[in-house]
Chains A and B, each alone.
Chain A
Amino acid sequence: MALDPLFGLHSAALAVQKQRMDVLAGNIANSDTPNFKARDIDFAATLRAQLGGGAQGNEALLKTQSTHLDAQSGADSLAGLVWRVPVQGSVDGNTVDTQIEQSRFADAALHYQASLNFIDGRVKGMLTAITGQ
């Protein structure tokens, strides 16, 4: 996915924040599941991968023959999925700390809203330009 001409990186950022909220919701849903290991998304790495650049992104493989396969990580793949380092381990092997997950979820939700506001502003600006009123 290249940089969107109208919305910049906000459409990609929105998608990554949504994925991040899915992962965090999965953590909180499993806060009482034995041996569940909490995870999070490395936002910067995933966004870079979605925009198709950077070291962790889907760099093009050097092909010496036309039959070589592409090394594509699709836009859906979670390049930056990382494990959460537990602050305080629990007896049942679960590494979910509900407080941490909730604060990260609030953070992701806030950033999602911020991106939404930017997109909303662009849409409204465009509408004004189109209608000319």
Chain B
Amino acid sequence: MSSFRIFDITGSALSAQSVRLNTVASNLANADSVAGDPSQVYRAHMPVFKAAAELGGENTPGVRVTDVVQSQAEPDKRYEPGHPLADADGYVYAPKVNVVEQMVDMISASRAYQSNVELMNTAKDLALRTLSLGR
């Protein structure tokens, strides 16, 4: 157990929130990647957060991404017979990524990231002041 447990805790949150930002970026980047086969379509990724007691002791858990799950939503079916990837019936399949939801998720993740950075800064200042006691 480190004497600067707060850095472990906020550090775990920073890494978890950046995983979340990465999944949002991946989902938005692939929002328009269509495919001719519904099984080949990109599926939205979502991280699963869990309080991780081992990061800061049982009383003050950090956070950990335990899994990144894929959305089970059925892909959108679009009739585009001229599309080079269209199947025999003239359909292409687009991933069910809700751009608005993803943007909201991104804002939430970046705000959470910011507050944890602020926390880390405060903790660092206090630790430095403690180290320079009596000078």
Contacts and interface: CB of A to CB of B under 8 A. Distances in A.
Nearest to B62: A29
B19 to A, nearest CB: 11
Interface string A117-133: 00110011001000000
Contacts of B108: 32
Interface majority SS on A: helix, strand, loop or mixed?
A: helix
B62 to A, nearest CB: 5
Contacts of B116: 28-29
Interface string B3-14: 001100110110
A21 interface: yes
Contacts of B112: 28, 31-32, 98
B129 interface: yes
Contacts of B59: 22-23, 26, 39, 78, 81
B56 interface: yes
Interface in A72-125: 78, 81, 98, 102, 105-106, 109, 112-113, 116, 119-120, 123-124
B122 interface: yes
B58 to A, nearest CB: 10
Contacts of A112: 126
B63 interface: yes
Interface in A47-64: none
A12 B90 CA distance: 74
B38 interface: no
A23 B51 CA distance: 13
Contact of A123 (B17, B63, B115, B133): B133
A64 B10 CA distance: 48
Contacts of A23: 59-60
Nearest to A35: B51
